[in-house]
Structure 1
């Protein structure tokens, strides 16, 4: 490839493209980046010209990515993630003055994000008593509301825990998961021969899924209700049922993933938000810096491989600034 192939590609252009992919509109990208709408349009035009392809399908509302755009988004996000990580390394997180840090993280991250995040934090802890808990989102919310945690990374609920500041991390859309080879062209009615595998109704996911089903008049029989993501994945892969899940949860299916097909939800889709709640007692940049590290790890372990496997989620399964 000639050395001039990337002439005209700027970091700002990549940021604009990423924001357009996440918001689906020029106005949304302009608001996210504190730019004018004409400036956003010009940056995208420059990027298209530099690459020699159109990245956005402007004929649809919200805007959608072209096939070339879906492919380039993964690379652009990886490049921006590396740059942001470099920036974070230059302006290093400093926890040397902290005497204690109590943090809770949802179970979804316990194999990849949480261990790496803990390692990052430990690098600058000198005299800090660090306590880490993992669990379900509703448990994390209850703990930070009771002031038993300083920071909680979990799914956002219907209300923000009192005396906390919210840092959005990830939009995690709900999707349909069925045994490999299942024909779902007829919508949810095509799955009537399989039982529906419910999430524990105490979980935020379980409640949001039931609200979605009720909104559309679907009331699957109450046969299975579980709080174990792996058990649900195993049953779906084994042809024992279908479920509504999220890319984040599906990517944790491990050895069961090859037996599962994923599809968009019929009718209007819904999503949960993964956020970082910081106690209002905390001031300064530390919560925001921890949120930035978490986003980088989520991109590495979830959104990048997730979009490789499910490119149709390009504008849905996205990091949130």
Structure 2
């Protein structure tokens, strides 16, 4: 017997359901998907009518799934994953015409994004000589300027060759990281008994954080200055000190993450912007597709997990420049 047709089932409805199941909020779902709240509610109403069951318990705040919703969610996620995979296949990079490509990627992505990015790029190569380099943003930008790299995924330093083009990828806001259980009711002043852990001032993060501290009128003792994200995370987790970091960096804390509390940065909101910086002699097609692939991987490995751990971030930690 053939399966019944689900007349009226839409891709948008599945996307709304998937997002609402994660956020538990019509308003948050609307904001994330660029829709109005009434449109989100209508999509959920349509989906319930198509399936003949309610998927969400609207009487609870945050909203929770009904038993039927919990049963349907993995099916919806699998269907969306298959469709997204198919879309990737249709728009796969074709690098077969390239003789060489040199790409730099910041160390922040070394464990999760970079290996997947390299594998996906390799699928489109046949005779292309591919070089991949990782490092700090200021070093990658210097290599772009020296034409040692064709392009680099890095924090925007505000410098670089005048002819270089930038494809926005991620907004990575600065946040406060303190030992677990630390009371910050008094703002930064309540952290006076802990050491401030500085970033290496050659790094983009180090310079931006110091500029923030100067504008806030804070002159903190110069006791620790490090270029290792893991070392800073270890010292915060041990109770030695506190730091200013970003969600992207904090999510790389690994085994130390459980001993670190994250909070919004007091006062001025600041962020670094992750971009794909490209030497000016490239057309838009290949860099545009590489930037889109990077956004997809960063969304999966960082933005979605951050929304679960730090929901107060809202849309400040967000993919930029997508369609």
Give the TM-score range, shorter chain. Answer: 0.7 to 0.9
Kept in 2, the 8 Å contact 1:96–1:128? The answer is yes
Kept in 1, the 8 Å contact 2:177–2:260? The answer is yes
- Secondary structure, in 3 states, of the residue corresponding to 2:241? coil
- Secondary structure, in 3 states, of the residue corresponding to 1:261? strand
1:1-321 aligned within 5 A: 11=12, 43-44=39-40, 46-47=42-43, 67=62, 83-159=83-159, 161-320=161-320, 321=322
- Aligned position for 1:63: none
Q: How far apart, in 1, do the equivalents of 2:175 and 2:189 lie?
A: 16
Kept in 2, the 8 Å contact 1:196–1:221? The answer is yes
Give structure 2 stretches of 5+ with no counterpart: 21-26, 47-54, 65-73
What is the TM-score of this pair, normalised by structure 2?
0.79
Q: CA deviation at 1:89?
A: 1.2
The number of aligned residues is: 290
- Secondary structure, in 3 states, of the residue corresponding to 2:117? helix
Say if 1:68 and 1:287 are closer, same or farther in 2 by CA, change over 3 A: farther
Which range moves more in the overlay, 77-86 or 92-101? 77-86
Give structure 1 stretches of 5+ with no counterpart: 30-38, 55-65, 70-74
RMSD: 3.3
- Aligned position for 1:61: none
Say if 1:81 and 1:163 are closer, same or farther in 2 by CA, change over 3 A: farther
Q: How far apart, in 2, do the equivalents of 1:212 and 1:78 lie?
A: 44
Q: Which has the larger radius of gyration?
A: 2
Say if 1:266 and 1:81 are closer, same or farther in 2 by CA, change over 3 A: farther
Kept in 1, the 8 Å contact 2:144–2:150? The answer is yes
What is the TM-score of this pair, normalised by structure 1?
0.79
Write out per-residue CA displacement over residues 139-158 of structure 1, whole angstroms, 9 at most, x where no aligned residue.
11111122221110001122
- Secondary structure, in 3 states, of the residue corresponding to 1:121? helix
Which range moves more in the overlay, 200-209 or 3-12? 3-12
Q: CA deviation at 1:10?
A: 5.1
